[in-house]
Amino acid sequence: MIGKLLDKCLKKKWTDEAVLNYVGEYQDAFITHSTDVSVREKSASGGTTTSLLIQGLKSGDFEGVIVCKTSVRKGRVRARFFIATTVEDILAARGSKYVEAKFLAEVLPLIRGFEGRLAIVGLPCDITALKRFCNKYVDIANKIVFTIALFCGHNSRIALIDEITARIERESQKQIVDYRFRVGNWRGQLEAVFDDGTVKSKPTKYFNDYQNLFFFCQRKCMSCNDHYGYDADMSVGDVWLFRLRSSPIKHTGVIVRKDAGIRMHDIALAANAIDSSKIEIREIMDGQSRIGPSHYNVSARHKAGRLFGVHIKDTVKQEVAWHEYLNALITVGNMCLSEKAWGEKVIFGTPRPILKLYLYFKKALESL
């Protein structure tokens, strides 16, 4: 009841032009989740991505999937790409990795060395970069039969995860051997697995308070307006609607863009691997109503960047309201602060309650 009321209050009006600008071309939208509780367990949201990939492998639509796994060496958490050829491999890659990775540098040699057809999961910028390569190199294009883009607010530099994991190791006096950025319902928890087999969970805000303030945001994200993955066959993301907050099952929002996306959705549905209901694209956008528009608004960051001596190319040329400008000042300013050694000290030395107030202020600006 309260959830529905909150959703109603926060609902934005999405014109057809806004849908086209923010989401791009699409055919259908669904609210979904994996029907297998053991798949959902360690997935980022509803486990739909994993279920679709498993079903595609089983149906013989592709022989391999490029997935992103967490690799931990000496307590350092990194994201690495692999080709999964079994159900177990796909399951091992569940969950979002909120840390910079070298997508093309790692993925292109994998594709070239693989005999067979591939599905690929990636962030919007990576799927677009891959598409450019496919336009140039037929040998690569011929192997890729299905692409999924994850909705993406932005990604973080390694400095952030290194500080978070170092703190957890200091607190626990143990070394991290595996790490999950987010598991569980709604915002969920992060999980660190130690060398003695024990696991420590913390609310995701332990990492996300910094992330949501754009501290240690990658520079490339400043000039990115693609939140939903324009160039993929299908896009997937969370559904942050308050009416779903107390749901025992977390959902994945799915935007089907191309025929390959329709086919994979239908295959998973026919195999009863996912539960899926059609929804209005605007509901998906309501679930991203804060970050979606501010992500798209490169014009605001372009303007704000001037104050910090950062050139951000304005690719969307839209009018910038005062609150959008102020929000962009915080976004660009916080990224710049993270690039200085003294800035890092300020960021990590700021008491949590102050960070929290700052974050609420930023979220309020994003919600206007």
Q: Which residues sit at the interface with ligand SF4, rule CB under 6 A?
A: 123-125, 152, 154-155, 218, 220-221, 224, 226
Structure-derived torsion over alpha carbons of residues 223, 225, 228, 231, reported in degrees to the nearest 10: -80
Alpha-carbon separation of residue 84 from 117, 119, 283 (angstroms): 12, 10, 33
Helix (H) / strand (E) element for 225: namely: none
| Least distance CB 154 / ligand SF4 (angstroms) | 4
47 near ligand FAD, judged by CB under 6 A = yes
Nearer to ligand SF4, 263 or 295 (CB): 295
CB of 143 to ligand SF4, least distance (A): 23
> What single-letter DSSP state applies at residue 143?
T
Q: Please give the order of strands across the beta sheet that includes 76-84.
A: 76-84, 64-73, 118-122, 144-150, 234-238, 252-256, 28-34, 274-278
48 touching ligand FAD, by CB under 6 A? yes
Extract the tokens encoding 321. Answer: 């309201």
* 229 φ, ψ (degrees, to nearest 5): 80, 65
| Interface characters, 163-202, with ligand FAD (x: CB under 6 A) | ----------------------------------------
Does 147 bind ligand FAD (CB under 6 A)? Our answer is: no
Q: Are strands 118-122 and 144-150 parallel, antiparallel or unpaired?
A: parallel
Q: Which does 145 bind (CB under 5 to 8 A by kind): ligand SF4, ligand FAD, none?
A: none
Q: How far is the CB of 304 from ligand SF4 (least distance, A)?
A: 16
Nearer to ligand SF4, 124 or 188 (CB): 124
Q: What's the closest the beta carbon of residue 341 comes to ligand SF4, in angstroms? A: 24
In the complex, what is the shortest distance from the CB of residue 349 to ligand FAD, in angstroms, rounded to a whole number? Answer: 26
For ligand FAD, the closer CB: 174 or 245: 245
Largest CA distance in the chain: 56
Amino acid at 245: R
Give the Cα separation of 296 and 285 in Å (integer): 12
Instruction: Select the span of 157-165, 230-238, 330-338, 342-350 touching ligand FAD (CB under 6 A).
Output: 230-238
* Contact mark string toward ligand FAD, 51..90, x via CB under 6 A: ----------------xx----------x-----------
What is residue 220's DSSP assignment? G
User: What residues numbered 242-261 form the site for ligand FAD, per CB under 6 A?
Assistant: 252
d(CA 169, CA 238): 29
Length in residues, the chain: 368
Does the protein bind ligand FAD through residue 297 (CB under 6 A)? no
Is 93 among the residues that bind ligand FAD (CB under 6 A)? yes
Q: Which residue has the tokens 């192997």?
A: 143
Residue 229 touching ligand FAD (CB under 6 A): no
Q: Which is nearer to ligand SF4, 62 or 228 (CB)?
A: 228
DSSP 146: E
In the complex with ligand FAD, which residue's Cβ is closer, 148 or 336? 148
Per CB under 6 A, contacts with ligand FAD among 322-361 are none
Cα separation, 255 vs 229, whole angstroms: 9
| Residues forming a β-bridge with 104 | none
User: Which of ligand SF4, ligand FAD, none has residue 252 at its interface (CB below 5 to 8 Å by kind)?
Assistant: ligand FAD
Minimum CB separation of residue 122 from ligand SF4 in Å reads 9
**Packing angle of the helix pair 259-270, 48-59 (nearest 10 deg):** 90
The CA-based angle 82-85-86, given to 5 degrees, is 115
Pick from 43, 147, 235, 338: which binds ligand FAD (CB under 6 A)? 43
The whole-angstrom distance between residue 144's C-alpha and the CA centroid of its chain comes to 21
Q: By the criterion CB under 6 A, which residues form the site for ligand FAD?
A: 43-50, 67-68, 79, 93-98, 101, 121-123, 150-153, 155, 236-238, 252, 288, 291
